[in-house]
């Protein structure tokens, strides 16, 4: 799901350093379209695409509010924004699935959830159910709200206070109504890993208990709080007994990129509900693991406020879990663990890819991963008896319920200070206030705080995403990438403005239409976590739990400038709630489509599938004849890409490429997103008699699951014949390099770096069809490089000199080798022809999840070049 953004009067603003705004109202649609390169733009002139900018959804000042600014429709609008609570609706249950993996554990199968929620809604007037979205596999996501009844007027009042807290935090801090009557939002997220089931069952039990309770404590709790339960965040995995969703994605690694529909639904919950406290239920760590974490801590949080509340809530959950009476001797249950207190490193909160590490940027001042203790998945699921599995699951449900109840108790008892801290989080962002380093003085009551826990950053004054290069202004590498990045920022509720005049900032000239991200905004932490370079933390800890560098400002392919300081006075902008369209087609002559962005590769493959004539250009772009203008117009609209006029005639014909892919699920997803026709293969598939000729495959992409040495004689002969007959190979990582070596193709020595290393790296591109015009940064995870290059091997890309790591964690291995200094200057991407096949090998991770989006075209170009 995305944000629905209403059309409202456009606000022209002049930014001034003191934060005041000079406002002028324009009628919607009065903005003029950008002039297009290559002559008259046949898409934009007189077209409804001439302007897609509208005013921002979030008001920033009393003046905005006076102009009638309103919240954007979101989850609340699904059942009618003018309605109060409860908002009951009858859910349509899915078909009964006897193969649901939950059943063996004695837990609720997905098909039973809707009927149970229907029954609970009928109990009283406290429970409402919304459909928050659908999973990758098409299953409904149920968001349950539990609160005391509200009239439509009271609900509207609650929404106004919520808006005040985020967008006018100074006023909210002084508003007695916020202190006395704002309902504190609490978010409980369950089953994000599909084979970590029990949070769902604990949530259903607690929802039913709250619906039926008659005691005064429950009435008081629900009168002062709104409780939100994402009953199962990953129904695909719940049913199948898998950690990922139906697309093969680990949803709890996707929050900075939001490539999956389930994550976009949770993101929308964060924006629309603005939880002050949240917990995310997982398994399995014995004893029960309860965050806060070990260092390193994310440098973009208001960590003093976060640690204060998260540690205090953790103590309450620990007491509740241990108080259930389970013991190691009797039940196999160890006492609960709080990593901040009990461990030195290894369970950090550095990357914002996890649910509890993302939610603080939307105002959560306490957010936790909870890992209940008793393992029931993977080998245990298959090997243990059903009674033992059900015994363990029942313990986990009990522990998950205790963590939920303790969290509600903490929130209710401390609701005034919790909301005050949420207000302070947004106030610091909106005013540009400095972060407060954690210490025993700034976070009293939390033991063991030391220098190793201090992580802060110097927020820049602004970021600028340039529009283009004219009249000497700062250029934009890819208009398509810039448009996508801006849209992503807006979808994450980051405020973005667009310049209405040319301007100069930080010593650089920018064109009208450039985007400005003013870092004096409530969600500055989220803006910075996406756009900043990040930090090299290799010297901070020995290992990291997951990735340590992810900069979308460097990896998504757009030019992004950081403005360190100074005043924005005189920079005339207007707030936008969508990025401007970049799609256009030159009105005459042949057409060039650059392949600098994944959308452009998608457009190319769409054109090729429809028989459009396309030829290669030396710089990696492609040329269409003027006769293909009609098809180009459709592609430009469909994919929002630009076709410029060109006098170049191009070289070889580009043909549709069918790809046999032995790759990770994320890579498969990326290939299909770029409209490649993909046939998944593996060692087993080839050994089963894969027919290369009948398949119509022109290129093989290998990164996982295909071992040349494990192929039987027939499969090996078939693969050799495919390669010798002109089939191309694109290899990534150790398995891709191994296949190249085993098949005796390119003469190169592949060198593996430290397998624990990952992050954003500086690279030098050699130009040509694979990396011509590519970004100057890429991503590595278990980095690799190539030495001993034989005759005919071309270096397409190299690691930067010195220390190529910009941000992340990359140390030398135990023997002192495999570090970034060993990789410096070495080839990271190579190509060549050998034994009848064209080959491209990657030592980087150009399709890692959705993080290096700007590197996706390198793989697309490679596949097109070898086929």
User: Backbone phi, then psi, for 112, in 5-degree steps?
Assistant: -90, -10
Distances (CA, A) of 550 to 348, 759, 850: 15, 7, 10
Q: Report yes or no: 454 and 488 within 8 Å, Cβ to Cβ.
A: no
User: Backbone phi, then psi, for 41, in 5-degree steps?
Assistant: -90, 110
Place of tokens 């900043």: 532
Q: Report yes or no: 804 and 761 within 8 Å, Cβ to Cβ.
A: yes
Q: Report yes or no: 373 and 396 within 8 Å, Cβ to Cβ.
A: yes
Distances (CA, A) of 737 to 756, 784, 827, 842: 19, 9, 13, 8
Q: Whose CA is closest to 753, among 787, 784, 786?
A: 784
Distances (CA, A) of 848 to 544, 547, 600, 666, 671: 17, 11, 19, 7, 12
Q: Report yes or no: 659 and 676 within 8 Å, Cβ to Cβ.
A: yes
User: Backbone phi, then psi, for 299, in 5-degree steps?
Assistant: -80, -10
Task: State the catalytic residue, choosing from 53, 424, 487, 796.
Answer: 424
* Dist. CA 230–CA 269, nearest whole Å: 9
Q: Whose CA is closest to 72, among 524, 491, 527, 574?
A: 491
For 851: left if phi > 0, alpha if psi spans -120 to 50, otherwise beta; the answer is alpha
The answer to whether 424 is a known catalytic residue is yes
* Dist. CA 53–CA 33, nearest whole Å: 10
Distances (CA, A) of 241 to 194, 202, 259, 644: 6, 18, 21, 49
Distances (CA, A) of 309 to 61, 150, 776: 29, 28, 41
For residue 796, give the 3-state DSSP assignment: strand
Q: Report yes or no: 163 and 71 within 8 Å, Cβ to Cβ.
A: yes
Record the tokens describing residue 816, joined without a space. 């002192």
* Residues taking part in catalysis: 424
């Amino acid at each position: 799901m995305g944000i629905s953004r209403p059309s409202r009067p456009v606000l022209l603003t002049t930014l001034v350093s003191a934060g005041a705004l000079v406002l002028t109202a324009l009628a919607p649609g009065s903005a003029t379209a950008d002039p297009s390169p290559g002559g008259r733009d046949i898409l934009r002139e007189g077209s409804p695409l001439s302007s897609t900018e509208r005013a921002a959804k979030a008001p920033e000042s009393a003046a905005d509010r006076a102009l009638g600014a309103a919240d954007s429709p979101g989850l609340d609008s699904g059942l009618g924004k003018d309605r109060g609570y409860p908002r009951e609706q009858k859910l349509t249950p899915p078909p009964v699935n006897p193969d649901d993996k939950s059943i063996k554990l004695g837990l609720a199968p997905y098909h039973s959830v809707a009927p149970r929620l229907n029954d609970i809604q009928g109990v009283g007037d406290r429970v409402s159910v919304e459909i928050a979205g659908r999973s990758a596999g098409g299953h409904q996501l149920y968001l349950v709200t539990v609160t005391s009844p509200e009239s439509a007027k009271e609900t509207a009042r609650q929404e106004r206070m919520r808006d005040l807290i985020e967008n006018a935090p100074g006023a909210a801090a002084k508003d007695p109504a916020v202190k006395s009557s704002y309902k504190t939002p609490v978010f409980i997220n369950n089953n994000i890993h599909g084979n970590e089931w029990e949070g769902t069952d604990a949530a259903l039990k607690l929802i039913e208990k709250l619906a039926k309770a008659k005691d005064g404590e429950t009435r008081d709790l629900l009168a002062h709080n709104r409780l939100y339960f994402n009953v199962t965040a990953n129904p695909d995995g719940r049913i199948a007994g898998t950690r990922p969703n139906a697309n093969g994605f680990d949803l709890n690694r996707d929050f900075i990129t939001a490539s999956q529909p389930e994550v976009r639904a949770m993101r929308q919950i964060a924006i629309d509900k603005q939880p002050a406290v949240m917990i995310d239920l997982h398994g399995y760590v014995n004893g029960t693991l309860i965050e806060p974490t070990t260092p390193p801590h994310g440098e973009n949080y208001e960590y003093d406020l976060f640690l204060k509340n998260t540690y205090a809530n953790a103590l309450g959950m620990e007491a509740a879990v241990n108080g259930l009476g389970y013991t190691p001797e009797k039940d196999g249950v160890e006492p609960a663990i709080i990593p901040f207190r009990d461990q030195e490193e290894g369970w950090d909160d550095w990357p914002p890819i996890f649910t509890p590490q993302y939610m603080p940027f939307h105002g959560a001042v306490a957010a936790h991963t909870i890992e209940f203790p008793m393992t029931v998945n993977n080998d245990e699921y298959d090997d243990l008896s059903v009674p033992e599995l059900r015994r363990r699951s029942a313990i986990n449900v009990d522990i998950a319920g205790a963590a939920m109840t303790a969290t509600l108790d903490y929130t209710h008892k401390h609701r005034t200070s919790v909301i005050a801290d949420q207000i302070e989080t947004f106030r610091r962002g909106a005013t540009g206030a400095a972060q407060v380093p954690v210490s025993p003085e700034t976070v009293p009551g939390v033991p063991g705080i030391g220098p190793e826990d201090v992580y802060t950053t110097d927020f820049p004054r602004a970021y600028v995403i340039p529009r283009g290069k004219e009249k000497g202004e700062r250029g934009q590498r890819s208009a398509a990438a810039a448009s996508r990045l801006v849209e992503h920022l807006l979808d994450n509720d980051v405020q973005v403005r667009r310049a209405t005049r040319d301007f100069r900032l930080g010593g650089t000239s920018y064109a009208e239409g450039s985007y400005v991200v003013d870092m004096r905004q409530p969600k500055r932490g989220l803006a910075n976590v996406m756009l900043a370079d990040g930090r090299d933390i290799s010297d901070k800890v020995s290992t990291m739990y997951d990735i340590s560098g992810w900069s979308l400002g460097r990896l998504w392919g757009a030019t992004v400038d950081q403005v360190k300081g100074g005043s924005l006075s005189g920079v005339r902008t207007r707030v936008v709630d969508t990025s401007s369209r970049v799609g256009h087609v030159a009105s005459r002559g042949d057409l060039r489509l650059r392949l600098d962005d994944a959308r452009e590769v998608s457009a190319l493959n769409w054109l090729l599938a429809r028989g459009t004539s396309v030829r290669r250009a030396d710089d990696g772009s492609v040329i269409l004849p003027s006769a293909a203008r009609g098809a180009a117009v459709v592609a430009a609209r469909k994919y929002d890409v630009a076709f410029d006029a060109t006098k170049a005639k191009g070289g070889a014909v580009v043909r549709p490429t069918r790809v046999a892919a032995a790759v990770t699920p994320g890579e498969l997803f990326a290939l299909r997103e770029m409209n490649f026709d993909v046939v998944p293969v593996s060692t087993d598939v080839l050994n089963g008699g894969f027919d290369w000729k009948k398949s119509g495959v022109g290129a093989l992409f290998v990164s996982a699951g295909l071992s040349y040495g494990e192929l039987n004689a027939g499969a090996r002969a078939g693969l050799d014949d495919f390669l010798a007959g002109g089939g191309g190979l694109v290899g990534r990582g150790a398995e891709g390099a191994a296949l190249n070596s085993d098949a005796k193709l390119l003469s190169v020595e592949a060198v593996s770096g430290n397998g624990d290393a990952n992050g954003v790296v500086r690279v030098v591109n050699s130009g040509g069809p694979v990396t011509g015009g590519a970004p100057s940064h890429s991503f590595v995870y278990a980095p690799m490089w190539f030495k001993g290059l034989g005759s005919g091997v071309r270096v397409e890309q190299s690691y930067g000199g010195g220390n190529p790591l910009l941000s992340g964690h990359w140390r030398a291995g135990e023997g002192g080798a495999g570090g970034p200094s060993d990789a410096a200057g070495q080839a990271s991407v190579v190509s060549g022809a050998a034994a009848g096949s064209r080959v491209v090998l990657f030592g980087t991770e150009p399709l890692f999840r959705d993080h290096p989006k700007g590197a996706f075209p390198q793989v697309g170009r490679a596949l097109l070049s070898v086929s």
